[in-house]
Amino acid sequence: MPRAERERQMMDAAVRTFGQRGYRAASMDEIAELVGVSKPLVYLYLNSKEELFAACIRRESEALVAAVTAGVEPGAPADRQLWTGLVAFFAHTAENPHGWAVLHRQARMHGEPFAAEVTKMREALVAYVTGLIGATAREAHGTPDLADRDVADRDVADCDVAGLAQALVGAAESLAAWANETPGVSAKEAAATLMNFAWTGLGNLMAGERWTEQEKRETAHR
Amino acid sequence: MPRAERERQMMDAAVRTFGQRGYRAASMDEIAELVGVSKPLVYLYLNSKEELFAACIRRESEALVAAVTAGVEPGAPADRQLWTGLVAFFAHTAENPHGWAVLHRQARMHGEPFAAEVTKMREALVAYVTGLIGATAREAHGTPDLADRDVADRDVADCDVAGLAQALVGAAESLAAWANETPGVSAKEAAATLMNFAWTGLGNLMAGERWTEQEKRETAHR
Amino acid sequence: MPRAERERQMMDAAVRTFGQRGYRAASMDEIAELVGVSKPLVYLYLNSKEELFAACIRRESEALVAAVTAGVEPGAPADRQLWTGLVAFFAHTAENPHGWAVLHRQARMHGEPFAAEVTKMREALVAYVTGLIGATAREAHGTPDLADRDVADRDVADCDVAGLAQALVGAAESLAAWANETPGVSAKEAAATLMNFAWTGLGNLMAGERWTEQEKRETAHR
Amino acid sequence: MPRAERERQMMDAAVRTFGQRGYRAASMDEIAELVGVSKPLVYLYLNSKEELFAACIRRESEALVAAVTAGVEPGAPADRQLWTGLVAFFAHTAENPHGWAVLHRQARMHGEPFAAEVTKMREALVAYVTGLIGATAREAHGTPDLADRDVADRDVADCDVAGLAQALVGAAESLAAWANETPGVSAKEAAATLMNFAWTGLGNLMAGERWTEQEKRETAHR
DNA sequence: AATGAATGAGTATTCATTCAT
DNA sequence: AATGAATGAATACTCATTCAT
């Protein structure tokens, strides 16, 4: 059996085991047994538990980012792009529940070598979302009206595009985990739920609505 | 030293250790040493690592629910209640990072004895949010019109309150992490961002708006 | 069984095992089994193989230096002191062959934590011998004659008291190892052999004789 | 690459590795990698770690004996021969530190297959030294006087030539180590120091002098 | 109320060695 | 002449847990 193939098998088994058991509880014995080889071969190819875990994180995070960004239609309206990305995200995490578990639950609770890789992935997604939000904000207010546009841009940008993007990604991550462990929730349904939750809100936000402690009821239910 | 006090110390140490290291990596030795007692005493009082972990989850989840629901003003408008709850949530998790880590990151990745406790907590919070959403929906459509109200209720129920709650908690958690590592973002600001993100959206949801794949741009930018 | 006693037993077993097998080949399992306890207890008391080895080296080197310097009669003639020290040295190494093996054979071939301790011991012995050689040189030439004495001192000191001491200690170490593994060689016999080898030579050296490449035969057999 | 050449490379790498790491800590992987070949080839040529180690010992011990005995001038006076041999010894060990480490430190601490080879080497050197001592003794007492000669021979034999050789080698090794770490001490100077230490003493031994516990001071300072 | 002494069962990692090609 | 693939057996070290006091 050629090495590349074996390495792929090992990573598959490792992702599954790390995802189910967690980094600490996963044992190299179990991984080797899943592949049907002896432990020394795993070490020969992947050096250590730590490196194996890091390799899993890297592979899964790259696969996820690729899946999410694969279907983008550059010219499409921002909300359509977001919808496409969300469907891809939920579909990918549904098909790779162990990989998603590794990224979402395991990788973040173990020191720097691992968290950094996840942070990189998250930043890629946040950047993607941030771009969409910025574009939509500009559209909503019409590009020709520069004064307005500047105000709107600053409103949205200054306010906290970054925070909103974080919230969106966090919501998506959490929903993905929930969708994975709740039977009967499809990727499209999860994406729709999130659009209802986030986009409809974001859309109004772009249109200039703001929630404040005092006047929220009026503006919210206008 | 009276037993109750010692038990409290032990749970404090355990929450801290479990939160930092994770269930597997946490060691009873470290917990005992943090308290300054011998291991057998920990076992005498708390029986086993598993029971200790379960006790931690129970205590922390009750504390979190209590904190979130403490400030409720029963008669207040729903969005004000949500705002109050979110501020309390961000404040509590910021003050109890280890407890929150135990609930959010550790408890879910370990077999049934633990997940159940977290599910209980989650249900309490979801019930709280569901109540708010239901109340708001009723307000929005006018309580006298029963037919309408039923429709609204069912609409909200169908689009999965549980999913929305997941999204909300995920967004909240993500924002909390981001707020913690971004200087100059307070608990209140994080809560305000989340209100902008979620409530303004939820508010429109209640008012009957729906995002669908075809008509989203029109409705969103109405 | 009290901890101090157990620790002593463990060190005894460790010295024996390290001495016979070497650092790498010695196994913690074997040491624990020799003592009749489980491995975790060895780790609880002595932390690691490395620390255990270091503790053995320290204990044995202190015991050896103590044995050699115990019998010194401060006022006695230098050669008598040397004889006394050598007998003590050979007697101690004969009684503690494993300890001596640890110091002489094992400790020096493993990185810095260990070699340093042996170097310390060796320096203590070299200092002891250096003192004797210097004293004897002064005696041999008569203290009143300052001019002569200075010359003699410089002769011996400059030449290489340090080198001679190193040679003596090395010869003793080597002889001790040989005596240990050769049946029928007593401590006194080993000491006598070394006195014949070294002292009779040193005595003549003190008296002003020098071996040089050209004139050696004449001076040596004068 | 012809087999003989490859075998030489392998032994070079093995000597270096065994000398630096010790028998146990040396790994066949490292040796193969140093040569730049695969492990199976090492096994094909040299069969096993044990045989490889034995081969190293044999090669290095033969090289050392050859180096020491290479410069002998059969007719020369004994002390000149000793001097020549010592210089050769110091020079060879300084140039082949790994080989010397293998012979001196590693070979003796591992069971019978290895020690035997070292014993053979040691016997060759002892025989060489014994020859010198015997010759010198005969010279000193005059060859015609057979009775005397027998006495002298027996004297030397009784006081244990093997022990003296051990002392000499130990002194030489210790001096070699000291010379290596003390700047400005050459092989020749080390050899000279050792001659001062040993030969001047040995010379007097040959001439019939003996150190005894009672009369040492008188004889030593005659 | 509290502990010193002790362990069975695991976990990551390494190494000499072989087989098929 | 040479290697890629593979492993059985061992080794240092850890941990939850108990018992006698």
CB–CB of D203 and C185 under 8 A? no
Closest CA–CA distance from residue B90 to any residue of chain A (Å): 13
| DSSP state, residue A104 | I
CA distance A220 to B23: 43
Write down the pLDDT at residue A136: 63
Judge whether residue B44 has pLDDT over 70: yes
Mean local confidence (pLDDT), D43-57: 96
Judge whether residue C150 has pLDDT over 80: no
Instruction: Find the distance separating the first CA and the last CA of chain B, reported in whole Å.
Output: 67
Chain A positions touching B209 (Cβ under 8 A) are 200
Q: Looking at the complex, does the CB of residue D194 fall below 8 Å from at least one CB of chain C? A: yes
Domain B1-47 CATH (choose: 3.40.1160.10, 1.10.10.60, 1.10.10.10, 1.10.3720.10): 1.10.10.60
Chain B positions touching A169 (Cβ under 8 A) are 174
Report the run of H or E that residue A7 belongs to, with start and end: helix A3-21
Write down the pLDDT at residue B216: 37
Q: What whole-number percentage of chain C has pLDDT above 90?
A: 37
Chains contacting A (3 or more CB pairs within 8 Å):
B
CA distance D55 to D43: 13
Size of interface A-B (CB pairs under 8 A): 198
pTM (two decimals) = 0.85
Closest CA–CA distance from residue A175 to any residue of chain B (Å): 5
CA distance A24 to B181: 26
Q: Alpha helices, DSSP H only, in D37-111? A: 39-46, 49-70, 78-95, 97-101
CB–CB of B197 and A193 under 8 A? no
Task: Choose among B65, B48, B17: nearest CA to B9.
Answer: B17
Chain A contact probe: residue of B174, B195, B199 with most A CBs at under 10 A: B174
CA distance A123 to B143: 45
Q: How confident is the model at residue B14 (pLDDT cuts 50, 70, 90)?
A: very high
CA distance C34 to C26: 12
What residue ranges in C102-193 does DSSP mark as E strands? none
Closest CA–CA distance from residue D2 to any residue of chain C (Å): 35
Overall fold of domain D56-221: Tetracycline Repressor; domain 2 (1.10.357)
Report the run of H or E that residue C85 belongs to, with start and end: helix C78-95
Write down the pLDDT at residue D213: 67
Q: Assess whether A48 (CB) lies less than 7 A from strand E.
A: yes
* Protein CB footprint (7 Å) on chain E nucleotides: 1-20
Nearest to B170 among A173, A195, A199 (CB): A173
Q: Looking at the complex, does the CB of residue B97 fall below 8 Å from at least one CB of chain A? A: no
Which residue shows structure tokens 């630096």? Answer: D20
Domain ranges (residues) in chain B:
1-47, 56-221
Q: How confident is the model at residue D75 (pLDDT cuts 50, 70, 90)?
A: confident
Q: What whole-number percentage of chain B has pLDDT above 90?
A: 32
- Interior angle at CA D192, CA D190 and CA D194, nearest 5: 70
- The whole-chain average pLDDT of chain B stands at 79
Q: How confident is the model at residue B152 (pLDDT cuts 50, 70, 90)?
A: very low
Task: Choose among D61, D56, D45, D46: nearest CA to D18.
Answer: D56
CA distance A197 to A129: 15
Q: Of the spans A123-137, C164-178, D184-198, which averages the highest pLDDT?
A: C164-178
Q: Tens of pLDDT along C67-107?
A: 998 888 877 777 788 888 889 999 999 999 999 999 988 88
Mean local confidence (pLDDT), C134-158: 49
| Residue with smallest Cα–C1' gap to E19 | D40
Chains contacting D (3 or more CB pairs within 8 Å):
C
Q: Tens of pLDDT along A68-119?
A: 988 888 777 777 888 888 899 999 999 999 999 999 888 877 877 888 888 8
Q: Looking at the complex, does the CB of residue B185 fall below 8 Å from at least one CB of chain A? A: yes
Touching status, chains D and C (3+ beta-carbon pairs under 8 Å) = yes
Amino acid letter, residue A188: K
Which residues have C-beta within 8 Å of that of residue D139, sequence separation ≥ 6?
D78
Q: Residue B145: left (phi > 0), alpha (psi -120 to 50), or beta?
A: beta
Write down the pLDDT at residue C104: 85
CB–CB of D171 and C175 under 8 A? no
- The whole-chain average pLDDT of chain D stands at 79
Closest CA–CA distance from residue C27 to any residue of chain D (Å): 12
Write down the pLDDT at residue B38: 97
Q: Assess whether B38 (CB) lies less than 7 A from strand E.
A: yes
Is the CB of residue B177 less than 8 Å from the CB of residue B194?
A: no
Backbone phi, psi, residue D186, to 5°: -90, 170
CB–CB of B171 and A168 under 8 A? yes
Judge whether residue C203 has pLDDT over 80: no
Q: Assess whether A50 (CB) lies less than 7 A from strand E.
A: yes
CA distance D206 to C125: 29
Task: Choose among B56, B43, B48, B50: nearest CA to B13.
Answer: B56
Q: How confident is the model at residue C53 (pLDDT cuts 50, 70, 90)?
A: very high
Chain D positions touching C178 (Cβ under 8 A) are 162-163, 166
CA distance A211 to B189: 12
Q: Tens of pLDDT along D84-139?
A: 888 888 889 889 989 988 988 787 777 777 888 888 887 788 777 767 766 665 55
Write down the pLDDT at residue B212: 65
CA distance D135 to D73: 14
Write down the pLDDT at residue A53: 97
Judge whether residue B207 has pLDDT over 80: no
Q: Using the CA of B6, which nucleotide's C1' is the nearest one? A: E1
- CA B123 to each of CA A206, B100, B117: distance values in angstroms, whole numbers, following the listed order: 33, 16, 10
Write down the pLDDT at residue B140: 57
Q: Using the CA of D25, which nucleotide's C1' is the nearest one? A: E15
* Protein CB footprint (7 Å) on chain F nucleotides: 1-20
Which residues have C-beta within 8 Å of that of residue B151, sequence separation ≥ 6?
none
Judge whether residue D44 has pLDDT over 60: yes
Which residues have C-beta within 8 Å of that of residue D91, sequence separation ≥ 6?
D67, D187
Q: Looking at the complex, does the CB of residue A127 fall below 8 Å from at least one CB of chain B? A: no
**How distant is C1' of E8 from CA of C48, in Å?**
20
Q: Of the spans C124-128, D29-33, D124-128, which averages the highest pLDDT?
A: D29-33
CB atoms near residue A214 (< 10 Å): 7
